[in-house]
Amino acid sequence: MIDASQVTGVILAGGRGSRMGGADKGLQNFNGLPMALHTLMRLAPQVGEVIINANRNLAAYESFGVPVWPDVLADYAGPLAGFLTALERCETPWLVTVPCDTPLFPSDLVARLSQAAHDADAEIAMAAAREEDGRIHPQPVFCLLRVDLLESLVKFTQAGGRKVDGWTSRHKVVLVPFERPQDDPRAFFNANTLAELHRLERS
């Protein structure tokens, strides 16, 4: 089994927030606290250490008390830029990625991804969850990755690759469905707009 101390968590807060009117999503309030702080409080007990990937308002993120690193790729290159930044900084054998805009993600996320990666001897364990169309879909920004995938990701991004699934499909991936009766159906709901954020609060 992969122990929590062997996993570093990265909170992906480096996006433009274009669907939120350019607002910094991680700093939008959810039940009275910034979303990224909710994410940190949920993630920290599941891993050995946490870092935040952000590209603006760095002082605000640093006030949460964990290291903050901007993208190593220019021009808001998407989640893979956050993966790459975190893999370069990670000092544990495993990295888990979590976006800043999904504040209700499972409190046993890392344990279940770790178990699946161990059992399948996989390089990547990726969460999967049922969406509004009733089907189970991969959740590619909820990934547990071996840190030795850094070289592969450097090559992929240097060649212009930007899609998470375009890169993960090159490796041994195990999908981990979050479909147990006790699993919250809202666990992977991400708030892309202020309206969605308020809806999630009310729910």
Q: Are 52 and 128 in contact (CB under 8 A)?
A: no
Look at the domain 4-202 and name its fold: Spore Coat Polysaccharide Biosynthesis Protein SpsA; Chain A (3.90.550)
Q: What's the pLDDT at 69?
A: 95
Residue located via tokens 């996993």: 7
pTM of the model: 0.94
What does the CA dihedral 113, 117, 69, 107 come to, rounded to 10 degrees? 10
Mean pLDDT (the chain) is 92
Structure tokens that stand for 172 in this block: 């041994």
CB 188 within 8 A of CB 196: no
Give me the residue label for tokens 């708030």: 191
The predicted structure's pLDDT at residue 192: 79
Across residues 119-127, what is the average pLDDT? 98
pLDDT tens-digit map of 70-120 = 987 776 568 899 999 999 999 999 999 999 999 999 999 999 999 999 999
Average pLDDT over residues 32-43: 95
